């Protein structure tokens, strides 16, 4: 678990969180673990950025939260996607597509110099 392995681009974290919740609801620890997993260990989200992001997404109406019992019967706050959130994944993905293509072009252009 190396520190700050990859700096998350602004906006990327939102997409990662939304992706992590596509299948089912989850709590903060679970979401962080899932992001770690789906990015094949590249991204390690720290609570300092995870929680503010979760609350921000909830305020935007893309996530909703509810209190439930965790696997080990503890009270945990679960987040899940809202309808608007599902739609937002498409937007974010298209966005990311554009950014990454543009970045690739930019890098290639520079290296060809």
Partner 1 sequence: MPRIVSFLRNSFRKKRMEQDLDDEIRFYLERTAQDKMASGMSEGEARRAARLQLGSVDSLKDAVRDIRTGAMVERIWQDFRFACRALRNKPAFTAAAVLVLALGIGANSAVFSLINAFLLKPLAVTKPEELAGLYSRDTKNPDAWRAFSYPNYLDIRDSQTAFSSVTAHNLALVGIKEDDNTRRTFAAVVSSNYFSTLGVPLFEGRSFRAGEEKPGRDLTAIASYSFWRKTGEDPHLIGKHLRINDHLFTVIGITPKGFTGTTVLASPELYLPLGAYDFVMNDIETHGKPLDARDNNALFLVGRLKPGLTLQAANAGLAVVTSRMGRASPAENKNQMLSVHPLSRLSISTNPSSDNDLWAPAILLLSLAAVVLLIASLNLANMMMAKGAVRRKEIAIRLAIGGSRRRIVQQLVTEGLVLAILGGAAGLFVASWSTTLLIGSLSRVAPIDLVYDSTPDARLLAGVLVFCGMSVIIFALFPAWRLSRPKTWHDLKENAGEDVAGRPRRLFSRGNMLVIAQLSLSLMMLGAAGLFIRSATRAADVQPGFSLDNEIIGEVDVSLANQDEVRGRQAYRALLEQLRQIPGVQSVSMAATVPFGLFSLGASVLPSTSFASKENRPMYARFNIVTGSYFQTLGIPLLRGRALVAAENMPESKSHVAVVDKLAADKLWPGGNAVGQQIHLDESGGGYAQTCEIVGVVGNVREKIVGDEAKPLPHVYIPLGQHYQADMQIHVKVAASSRDAERWMLDTIRRDIRAADPRLPLLSLKTMRGHLESGADIWVVRTGAHILEIFGGVALFLAMIGLYGVNAYTVARRTREIGIRMAIGADPASTLRMILGEGLRITAVAVGLGLLLALGIGQVLTGFLFEVRGIEPVVLLVAAAVLTAVALVASYIPARKASLVDPMIALRYE
Candidates 5, 22, 29, 103: give the one binding partner 1 (CB under 8 A).
29
User: With respect to partner 1, which residue has the nearer C-beta, 29 or 94?
Assistant: 29
Interacting positions 32-61 with partner 1 (CB under 8 A): 46-48, 51-52, 55-56, 59-61
For residue 26, what is the enclosing H or E element?
strand 26-27
Candidates 84, 94, 102, 106: give the one binding partner 1 (CB under 8 A).
84
Give one DSSP letter per residue of 41-94, joined into a string: TS----HHHHHHHHHHHHHHTSEEEEEEE-TTS-EEEEEEE-HHHHHHHHHHHH
The residues that touch partner 1, with contacts defined as CB under 8 A, are 27-29, 46-48, 51-52, 55-56, 59-61, 70, 72, 74-77, 82-84
């Amino acid at each position: 678990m190396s520190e700050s392995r990859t700096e998350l681009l602004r906006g990327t974290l939102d997409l990662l969180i939304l992706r992590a919740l596509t299948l089912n609801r989850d709590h903060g620890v679970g979401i962080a673990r899932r992001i770690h997993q789906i990015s094949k260990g590249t991204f390690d989200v720290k609570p300092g950025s995870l929680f503010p992001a979760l609350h921000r997404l909830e305020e935007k109406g893309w996530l909703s939260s509810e209190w439930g019992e965790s696997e080990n019967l503890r009270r945990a706050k679960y987040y899940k996607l809202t309808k608007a959130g599902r739609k937002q994944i498409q937007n974010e993905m298209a966005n990311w597509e554009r950014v990454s293509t543009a970045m690739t072009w930019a890098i290639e252009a520079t290296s060809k110099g």
